[in-house]
Structure formats: structure tokens, C-alpha cells
Amino acid sequence: MTRRRVVITGMGTVNPLGHDVESTWRALLACESGLAKTTLFDASSYPTTFSAEVKGYDFARQFPNASRHRHAGRHCQFALGAAMQAWRESGLDDYKELDRSRLGVYLGSGEGSLDFDNFTSLLVDAWRDGRLDTVRWSQLALAKMDLHRETEQESNMVLAHLAGEFGVAGPAFNVLTACAASTQAIGEAAMQVRRGDVDAIITGGAHSMIHPYGVTGFNRLTALSVRNDEISTASRPFDLTRDGFVLGEGASILILEDYGLARRRGARILAEVLGYGASADAFRITDQDPAGAGAAASMRAALDDSGCSPGDIQYISAHGTGTKQNDSVETKAVKAVFGDLAGKVPVSSVKSSLGHLIAAAGATELITCVLAIRDGILPPTTHYRTPDPECDLDYIPNAPRKATVRVCMSNSFGFGGQNNTLIISACP
């Protein structure tokens, strides 16, 4: 069977640095920080009092069909906004010959924010003599719980909103593999196009975990930075003083399609998806294999799938969370795969400016790879001050760098040991 070429024809994003692709890119290259005091809830008593929130996004004003999605959760609203940007850029909204049964959607999106205030109130009202009165609870819950808020807890709700908005009648999938989710979604979406299962597909990710439950969990894991006195520079991937990641939120969506279709309809091709690799650490739930074997396997698989050699890669968008373990393990993995070339390949982590968007992280970072190819400039790892002997690659510290780039690798590694890697290139 002929392997079809897969190209990117549209991109959109809503994130802590910007509400579209170009404003985000300008902010990244200006080394701006999306990190600030948490305002979505009172986090003053938490070990971490800050995050990377999406600020000022007015869904009702910025999305044309907002009333249709009036019950959409925060992450769904971000995804709808990002998807509309990507859809319009792709030109598919004007392509009348599009067969909707050959249009798919494949997302890596997380659950929505719980209605904590209402839930806690009902729980307190139903608590009797040190236990939950289930009869009382059922009476209160059935009468007062918001159906729409509760259904938004399902991680496929973003998928449902997007499929309905864009008339997707083909395959629809959602995956939630933590921080690797949207990279996995894009990789598997590309394989759908490559095999001929669909002609075009909406893919990417969305997540919003900046709520009491999300922050409590990551604080208990000691995964979050607690640098409350230096908030704007708290995310420090690969720096010796790094002390954890900064929790962010947002959505990024891309349109992938068959190269032949894109050419026939005169679409502007942004980049080509060359390869995808995946692996599992099979080590621990919250810890990576300390030798980096799983991460290295993912990168090698992507290289094999793409037909590229390590010498072809001109930039690596690192997972680079800013935790002690992740950054040292990723460095080891890059060295294992690239050997003597490892120190010569520029590597950076835009999480230093954006924060960690969890399920939306990989898609957002892949967009920056497309822009690096387009503009011949590499985004920096900001807030890099003190070199770590265990992290000794070229991390593009503190300032963007001009470079001719045609082939990029993007890594995402998720809790549970999921490893995913994409390779994209300029499209000749």
C-alpha cells in the first residue's frame, strides 16, 4: 500500500502567552513569561501560589458560534478557539468538495475543571455523624448538581464539541496519556491520513488543571516549582536551580491532510509530518526510567519512521519540564540517540515561558517547530542561569537564535511512562 504524505495546513492556539499563533510566537521570541499569581482560585495557602493561566480570553466575543457551546468547559472553549483559527488558515472552510465522512478528529485532551464549590456544599449538607448520608446525598445531587458541568468532566467532551462544530463525520478519537497526550494524538492522526483512513484530520490537545485538585496532586508529588518569591522566572528547564514545573493551561490545534489533497485545492502547506515514535518506560507510575531508555526508544522509533538519521535533525523541541529528573533523563536520552552529535544539535524548552500545558503541551510545542522552520529562528530556553553538569547540551539560553532549520524533532514524555516523538520538516 502506498504511504501517503502528511502535511500541516492550519494551526491555532490559545495559551498563557497569546490567544493566537502569531502573538504567541512574538511573546516567545521576546522572552516574555506567562507565569503569575494564580487567580482562578485562592492558592495562597498552597506550597505553589502561581501558575500559567490563560488571561483575558473572552470566548463569547472571540468565537463566532459561542452560544452553541455556552456550556463548554474552560478547556473546551480554548480548543474551539484554537480549532477555528486552524480551520480558517487551512482553507477547508471554503473547500466545498470536502467529504465530511473523510474528515476525522483525534485529540489529546484532559478532563474539565470540577465544580468544587457546588460539590463541596452538597457534600457538607449530606454529611451526618461522621459519614456520608447517601440518601440525603442522592436527593441533593439529583436536584442541584449541574448536568452540563458534570458532563464536562468526560475527557472526550472537547472531541464532541469540535466534531459538532466542524461537521466531522469520520473517525473521532481522544487519548489522555498525561503530558504526552497531544503529541500522541498528532502522531496517530498522521498515521490515519498516511493509511488513507481520512483525507484530513483535526488534531492537537487541550487541558486546564489549574484548580484545587490539580494543584494539590502535583504539590503532593513535589513536581511543581515552589519559587513563590521569583514567580516570573520560576520555570527553569535544564538549569541547576530548577525545582519543578509550572502548571499551565490552554489548547493548540493543527489541521493535517493528505499532501495530494492540499496540492489539488491550492492550500498553503506549513510543514510535513515525516515520522512518529512511541514507547513505554515500563518503570514506575510517576518516575521515568533513570537511564532514559524509554525516551531514547521513542526518538529512535521516530527517526526510523521518518527515514531520517540523527544528523538530519537541526533542532529538538524538548519536553524540558524543569523537574530535576525529567531534564537529566531527557539529556541522557538525547546523548544515547545522537552520540557525538548531541552537543551540536540545538535543544530548547518553551515551557520556560509558557509553563506546562499538560495534555496541550506537545501540540503547542510542535507549532513552535513549524514557526522555527518558517522564520529561521529558534525559540530560547529562558531563565537559564546556572549550568547543570548533568545537563550539558546546547539549550539556546535566554535569547532566540537565527538558524536555517528544515527538520525538527519534538519530544513529549508523560506520567505513567508514555514517550512520544514527532519529526517534521519543511515541505519541498
Q: Which domains does the chain have, with CATH numbers?
A: 6-113+153-425 (3.40.47.10), 116-151 (no CATH)
Mean pLDDT along residues 285-301: 90
Residue 322 has pLDDT above 80, yes or no: yes
Give the pLDDT confidence score for residue 128 in this predicted structure.
Answer: 87
Residue 277 has pLDDT above 60, yes or no: yes
Q: Catalytic positions, please?
A: 179, 319, 356
pTM of this structure: 0.94
pLDDT in tens, 55-89: 999 998 888 888 888 888 889 999 999 999 999 99
- Mean of the per-residue pLDDT values for the chain? 93
Residue 326 CB-density burial (10 A; 0-12 exposed, 13-18 middle, 19+ buried) = buried
Mean pLDDT along residues 28-46: 97
Give the pLDDT confidence score for residue 111 in this predicted structure.
Answer: 77
